[in-house]
Amino acid sequence: MNTPAASLESIPVRQIKGVSAPKEQELHAFGIYTAQDLLNYFPFRYEDYRLRSLTEVKDGEKITIQGVIRGLPMVARFGKGKARITAKTEIDGQLVTAVWFNRMFIKDQLQLGREITLTGKWDAHRMQITVVDSEFPDKGTAKTGTLQPVYSVGGGITQSWMRKTIRQALEQLGPLLQENLPEQLVRKYRLMPRQDAVFHIHHPDDPKDGQGARRRLVYEELFLFQLKLQAYRMMNRRKADGIVHRVDPEIIRQFAASLPFELTDAQKKVVNEILADMRQPFAMNRLLQGDVGAGKTVVAAIALLAAVKAGHQGALMVPTEILAEQHMRSLTRLYEVTGLQTALLTGSVSERKRRDLLAGLQMGLIDVLIGTHALIQDDVIFRSLGLVVTDEQHRFGVNQRSILRRKGPSPDVLTMTATPIPRTLAITAFGDMEVSTIKERPKGRIPIQTHWIKHSMMDRVFGFIRREADAGRQAYVICPLIEESEKLDVQNAIDQFVQLQQQFPDLKVGLLHGRMTTSEKDEIMKAFGDNEVQVLVATTVVEVGVDVPNATLMIIMDAERFGLSQLHQLRGRVGRGSHASFCILVADPKTETGRERMAVMQDTDDGFEVARRDLELRGPGDFFGTKQSGMPDFKLADMAADFAVLEVAREDAAELAAEGDFWTSDTYAGLRAMLAKDQIFQGEQLD
Ligand code: ADP
Ligand code: MG
């Protein structure tokens, strides 16, 4: 009788032969705790020890070659403890000089007539090999003829120890590796079986074999990642424990008619998508993307209205207080005709006010609560939270969103972002969300003209400010944030502020930075909003969402320090009214991509196009920095190189999760167990 197969995850790495207690500690630093972790510790490249002949190698190449020692070793000492050993070696019928540096121990092994394999750099002119590694066939040649894995190592873990230990683990526990992909997919893509793949990624027979192993393991990694998202999504739909918002279309029509503008077709389309989801019995999880100024706020306002009219409450969570206050103002204005009660909750609301507000919220006197992170505190309790909207999603962690979500039984969630990405990317990267996109901007907007200017031409910048100010318009001057030193940033902004004050004694110049108190910030934003301040010098605190339609000039200092999407966001602060607007990038970029970014900004003011070019410049890997997207750090897969695989894996995972069989058949019990272990189901029973 076989003992039941132990799971590799439950075998501590210590149980592998050769792993002592101190070594185990060292392995922990690499995130290796279990046998599974060790087997999944893949090499990042290989060293080629395959035998070649002298005729096929070029000067300067690294080779592994077999020969016979024909001359006694000669030692030359130089410097302190340094030595050079040479020995004439016969290779392919020629006499070659083998050279070792600082390997005194090798001397006694170099006996006349002994066979040896040498690995090193070939110098064709001197007929010489500088040896980095050698083996003697009479002692066994473990490396010769192979591709040797190269692992990321350090501390007390050496390359050769890691090789030996992983090899040992493969021999000892390799048979426990089980296929974890559905058979039909293994067949469809002719994937290497898992056991083979794990073995061959560590020890490929040849490069093609290594690639085959990698192909299989990359697919596995991406498929399992997508399966989690897709299963979560299906589960959510099957559970159907969301709120069915019964929305009277007439109320929505009336509200739309009360707006000072007509909704664009794109807005109408996404409103319909959102309302259709809200009527469903499962909880909505939808991403709303649209360029800056596309008009996402009013879409959110309609969705929140629908939730309230269906008898529930809504929450709108934004990343900054300035933005929260602005949303508070615009929603209160939009809702004037509806009788909806809005309230603002931020960190700077006084304790007394906060208490009243929380009581009102719990009693259902407040319909829509707008605020910052303050919304996710424990004592914020809704009577019946039906819809959560978060704005500028990349600034919130997935965790914060899910805490907010848990404040209702299973509220609908709408996530808004102004960093639009192509649809295929979006549905792939945010695999558990539905995606709505506002493509067109409201009509009648005059495109923003963007100019790139060198620091030496600041006079032209002053000229721009003068011209706009004389026409009654206003300007932003943005100073970059230097991560390491907030103090320096602030100083930088203050210097700019002083200089502009001197330059324009007749204008009111304002200053806004992160070190100011909330009430100071509010005051200055209000003054800018009321055109009491004409020129606002600010660090990036204004980046998100600020809406001052009379501002027509955006000047970005040291623009090369900003990423493309951030530049585009900043630029979106102007061009919000009926006047022509300008964006001036002051920059002397030192790198090619820096110049490229300035060029992209001058070429287009379409956020999707900016995102596309950004993606081109950086590649999806960087574009989806884990911080921004919530994408996991893949072990093997590379978001840039393997993006096509990710798309395929997503389709396969979605298809599988949609099959009834997946949720019931024994065939998929292993995959379901894996999902359960990853807490995809948050304690719910599956079968
Ligand atoms: P964003 O998508 O960047 O959040 P906003 O919702 O702040 O954009 O909208 C930008 C501006 O456009 C606001 O002043 C808003 O009132 C206005 N707006 C929204 N929709 C329309 C529309 N259909 N027609 C004209 N103006 C609109
Ligand atoms: Mg907005």
Q: What's the pLDDT band for 408 if we cut at 50, 70, 90?
A: low
- Dihedrals φ, ψ of 180, to 5°? -120, 0
| Residue 139: closest CA among 122, 123, 116 | 116
Number of domains in the chain: 3
- Answer whether residue 327 is part of any domain: yes
- Domain end, chosen from 92, 123, 145, is at 145
pLDDT of residue 634: 78
Mean pLDDT over 322-338 rounds to: 90
Residues 594 and 521 in one domain: yes
Element (H, E) at 290: strand 285-290
365 and 311 share a domain?
A: yes
Is it the case that residue 234 has pLDDT exceeding 90?
Answer: no
Among 397, 417, 437, the domain-final residue is 417
| 202-216, 324-338, 513-527, 551-565: segment of lowest average pLDDT | 513-527
On whether both 537 and 467 belong to a single domain, the answer is yes
Mean pLDDT of 379-386: 93
**3-29 pLDDT tens trace:** 445 688 889 999 999 999 999 999 999
Considering 399, 417, 435, which residue would you say is the last residue of a domain? Answer: 417
- Per the listing, tokens 């510790």 go with 41
Q: What is the CATH number of the domain that holds 468?
A: 3.40.50.300
Q: Does 613 fall in a domain?
A: no
Pairing of strands 342-345, 385-390: unpaired
Cα separation, 586 vs 55, whole angstroms: 58
User: How far is residue 595 from each of residues 134, 456, 565, 587, 617, measured CA to CA in Å?
Assistant: 49, 16, 15, 9, 11
Residue 353 is which amino acid? K
Mean pLDDT of 248-269: 94
Confidence of residue 470 (pLDDT cuts 50, 70, 90): very high
AA letter at 402 = S
Number of CB atoms found within 10 A of residue 218's CB: 21
What are residue 389's phi and psi, to 5 degrees? -115, 130
Q: For residue 264, how far is its CA from the centre of ligand 1 (angstroms)?
A: 10
On the question of pLDDT at 107 being above 70, the answer is: yes
List residues near ligand 1 (CB under 6 A). 261-264, 267, 290, 292-298, 418, 442, 547, 576
Comparing C-alpha atoms, which of 102, 128, 133, 101 is closest to residue 116? 133
Residue 263 Cα to ligand 1 middle (Å): 9
| Structural domain includes residue 628 | no
pLDDT confidence band for 424 (50 / 70 / 90): low
Buried b vs exposed e over 251-266: b needs ≥16 C-beta within 10 Å?
bbeebbeeeeeebbeb
d(CA 40, CA 634): 12
Pair (391, 482) in one structural domain: no
Q: Are residues 129 and 267 in the same domain?
A: no
| 106 pLDDT above the threshold of 70 | yes
In percent, the amount of the chain with pLDDT more than 90 equals 59
Residue 664 lies in a domain: no
Pairing relationship of beta strands 115-123 and 128-135 according to DSSP bridges: antiparallel
Residues 465 and 595 occupy one common structural domain: yes
* Residue 148 β-bridge partners: 47
99, 282, 478, 537, 579 from 553: Cα distances, Å: 68, 45, 11, 12, 10
Helical H segments across 431-573, by residue range: 458-470, 486-503, 518-529, 564-571
Say yes or no to pLDDT of 627 above 60: no
CB contact at 8 A, 287 and 415: yes
Average pLDDT of 204-232? 92
Q: Judging by beta carbons within 10 Å of its beta carbon (0-12, 13-18, 19+), is residue 304 exposed, middle or buried?
A: buried
For residues 389 and 469, state if they share a domain: no
Best residue for ligand 1 mutational test, from 261, 271, 439, 579 (most atoms within 8 Å of Cβ)? 261
Q: Is 128 exposed, middle or buried (0-12, 13-18, 19+ CB in 10 A)?
A: middle
Whole-number Å distance, alpha carbon 297 to ligand 1 midpoint, is 7
Q: Whose CA is nearest to atom 19 of ligand 1?
A: 295
Rounded mean pLDDT of 380-388? 93
Residues 485 and 413 in one domain: no
pLDDT value for 402:
63
Q: Residues 378, 526: one domain?
A: no
Stretch 253-257: mean pLDDT: 95
pLDDT for residue 3: 41
Q: What's the rounded Cα separation, in Å, for the pair 136 and 127?
A: 21
Task: Give the type of residue at 3.
Answer: T
How far apart are the C-alpha atoms of 94 and 54, rounded to whole Å? 9
Do 356 and 270 lie in one domain? The reply is yes
Instruction: Please report, for the domain that includes residue 62, its CATH number.
Output: 2.40.50.140
Most confident listed range (298-302, 349-353, 548-552):
298-302
* Residue 239 is assigned to a structural domain of this protein: no
pLDDT band at residue 59 under the 50/70/90 scheme? very high
> Which comes out higher in pLDDT, residue 393 or 132?
132
Is there a domain that residue 163 lies in? Answer: no
Mutate to test the pocket of ligand 1, among 262, 291, 298, 550 (most ligand atoms within 8 A of CB): 298
CA of 611 to the centre of ligand 1 (A): 20
pLDDT given for residue 441 in this prediction: 82
Q: Considering every ligand atom, which ligand is closest to the CA of 318?
A: 2
Answer whether residue 685 shows pLDDT above 50: no
How remote is the CA of residue 582 from the centroid of ligand 1, in Å?
A: 19
For the purposes of burial, counting CB atoms within 10 Å of the CB of 122, is it exposed (0-12), middle (13-18) or buried (19 or more)? buried
Please name the residue whose Cα sits nearest to atom 5 of ligand 1: 295
pLDDT averaged over every residue in the chain: 87
pLDDT of residue 117: 96
374 CA distance to ligand 1 centroid (A)?
26
DSSP per-residue letters across 612-630: HHHHHHHHHHHHT-HHHH-
For the beta carbon of residue 208, count every other beta carbon within 10 angstroms: 9
**Atom 4 (ligand 1) nearest CA:** 296
pLDDT per residue as tens digits for the range 196-217: 999 999 999 999 999 999 999 9
Which of 259, 297, 415 gets mutated to test ligand 1 (max ligand atoms within 8 A of its CB)? 297
Residue 167 inside a domain? The answer is no
3-state secondary structure at position 207: helix
Domain that includes residue 559, residue range: 449-604
Q: Are residues 352 and 459 in the same domain?
A: no
For residues 406 and 453, membership in a common domain is answered with: no
CA-nearest residue, atom 14 of ligand 1 = 576
**35 found inside a domain:** no
CA count, 13 A, side-chain hemisphere, 322: 23
